[in-house]
Chain A
Amino acid sequence: MAVVVNNLSFAYGRETVLRDVSFQAPAGKLTALLGRNGSGKSTLLKLLAGILTCPRGRIELMEQDLSVLTGAARARLVGYLPQFHQAVFSFTVEDVVLTGRAAYVTTMPASRDRDAADSAIRMVGIEHLRRRPYTELSGGERQLVMIARVLAQQPRIILLDEPLSHLDLFNQARLIGLLKRLTEAGMTVLAVLHDPNPALLFGDCIVCLRDGQVALPPAGGAPWDSVFLSEVYGLNLETVPYRGKALIAPVESEGGKQNGNA
């Protein structure tokens, strides 16, 4: 197991976000984190990335206790793509990607760091943006740049908070293809996805969060179990068989208004 989370609880001040969360993500697989807005997905990812520190519970990444790792050691193990990002200075794409190398650099990046940034840029397929100012890019292009930055970091686990947002269909498919190739090469990917369908089609494992607690698909059942997902999203869902897997779609109800998850 690449990621092992045991009894994790977290609160922003008095507002409890995660309650006694335990789950595991296998190495070399793409695990999708699903759930409604505010269910604690992004918080969980930030805890795994070491962006937030957690007083209660235990996180192990590649058999190492996250809480005792130094910043640089952690960054070599796990990379993180934040959900929102804005830049003030018009750094070139190259310079932004290069900042992913911070854990390997003392004062100035060496040629080995430039090579890593370079191959990350090629992997994501944004060679044509290399010298463009980051601030002049579209939302989707920025997303790709930040993904290249995570890859330049060369971690063994990558945590992506909604990597498909802002991307057009072409780039979504391309990114999913890249993530599949990375997992085949041994990388562990944990991605928060707002749209469950790519998760159902391409994810190896599914972990759902509901009100700060883990909800797992029924044992032995498929993750596209409509009763299970309907509960997770608080919405009447219907599964549509598709190529041996299934997609889900909301059922149109008479009143048009769906049950919330009370």
Chain B
Amino acid sequence: MTLLQTRNLFYLLLPLPVLFLSLFIGPAGSVAPPGVLEWFMAKLGGGIPLADAALQMVEEVIVNVRLPRVILAFLVGGALTVSGTSLQALVRNPLVAPEILGLSAGAAFGAALALTVSWLPLQPTAFAFGLAAAAFTYFLAVSRRGVSVISLVLAGIIVTGLFTALLTIVQIMNDPFKLQTIVHWTMGNLHNAAWSKVRSSILPITAGAVALICMRWRMNVLALGDEETRAVGLNPEREKLLVLVPSVLVASAAVAVAGIIGLVGLAVPHMVRMLVGPDNSKTVPASIAFGGVFLVLVDDLCRAMTSFEIPVGIFTTLIGGPFFIYLLKRAKLGFGE
């Protein structure tokens, strides 16, 4: 028990130094690490003189640009990873990611719609359509005898196709400028992170993550099969919903503020399982910590490497893809056969 608590403390504390150091990183040539250090020292030393314009500028960059961006990257990375981990346990298939439920396609369509129809708010619309798409998938898959894994995955593919087609229609009907905005959104990016985005996503992500942490051990039960779950006294259909709803909630909230960031929800859960083993009572909290840190680090790389912004979704795919192939080839993933 004490071991468990130390471990949880570790998950809680691990991200902090990464988040802190990430504040020092920015596009080359702007606010450089020594400047940040100077600001930090001044801040500790009792405040920044109003007259010091340079330090005021540094403060502006740190507090209103980098801090929300780092926090948002952590939230989004943690949300996508914990959602992927949970859904993989739910459908008993390690090749599943939040996107499989159609929520990314739904959110992308919602975002495109909001970018086209000016009175629709962007993030809430994307969020709502992400949830709606996942709910649609669930109701397509559910039958009198419950939800089978195969029907859930098939329904997800159908819903993804449907919303992708709708997205294409919206794209065709738009002018080139709006089209560019839509395409940029779907690429997944964090460069226009702001406190408003943190505020709008932190509640659903935290609530969903807490729910998933509560379900972490029961995911082990569920992962063994429907009959095996029923035999030990749990209703598998109820348990599935208790995992599905928070997973969809956190992933939709993440996609709504950051667009489609590929491979995080698929590849990072595997890295986590390699580190802590397949027991979900460890992988769920670890997914939040490692998933968050992963995206913060990738985003750091994004910001440090170039003076212009490459969407972070492209980077996660470029880094995650080859790494995932390497894992597959070494067959060291945390599942058998």
- Which chain A residues have a beta carbon within 8 Å of chain B's beta carbons? 46, 49-51, 70-76, 79-80, 82, 85-92, 95-96, 98-103, 105, 107-109, 111, 133-136, 149-150, 153
Contacts and interface: CB of A to CB of B under 8 A. Distances in A.
A100 B220 CA distance: 11
- Complex A-B, nearest 9 residue pairs according to Cβ-Cβ distance, in ascending order: A135-B336, A75-B233, A103-B233, A102-B232, A80-B231, A71-B233, A89-B278, A72-B233, A99-B221
B327 to A, nearest CB: 14
Contacts of B234: 71-72, 75, 102-103
A101 B229 CA distance: 11
Given A85-B224, A96-B224, 14 more contacts: A71-B233, A72-B234, A79-B231, A79-B232, A87-B224, A88-B94, A88-B335, A88-B336, A89-B278, A90-B335, A98-B220, A102-B233, A107-B214, A109-B217
Contact of B223 (A50, A71, A88, A136): A88
B337 interface: yes
Interface in B205-264: 214-218, 220-221, 223-225, 227-235
Contacts of B227: 46, 51, 82
Contacts, number: 105
Given A91-B278, A105-B217, A107-B214, A82 B228 contact: yes
A111 B1 CA distance: 8
Nearest to B231: A80
Nearest to B233: A75
Most central of A73, A76, A105 by chain B CB within 10 Å:
A105
B317 interface: no
Contacts of A101: 232
B279 interface: yes
Nearest to B91: A88
B241 to A, nearest CB: 15
Interface of B: 1, 4, 89, 92-94, 214-218, 220-221, 223-225, 227-235, 277-279, 281, 334-337
A99 B230 CA distance: 11
Contacts of A109: 217
Given A82-B227, A91-B220, A91-B279, A99 B335 contact: no
B7 to A, nearest CB: 12
Contacts of A133: 278, 336
A101 B227 CA distance: 15
A192 B230 CA distance: 19
A108 B281 contact: yes
B220 A99 contact: yes
18 contacts: A75-B231, A75-B234, A79-B231, A82-B228, A85-B225, A90-B334, A90-B336, A91-B220, A99-B220, A99-B221, A99-B228, A99-B232, A102-B221, A102-B229, A102-B234, A105-B218, A133-B278, A133-B336
B232 A103 contact: yes
Contacts of B334: 89-90
A70 B233 CA distance: 8
Contacts of A71: 230, 233-235
A92 B228 contact: no
B94 A92 contact: no
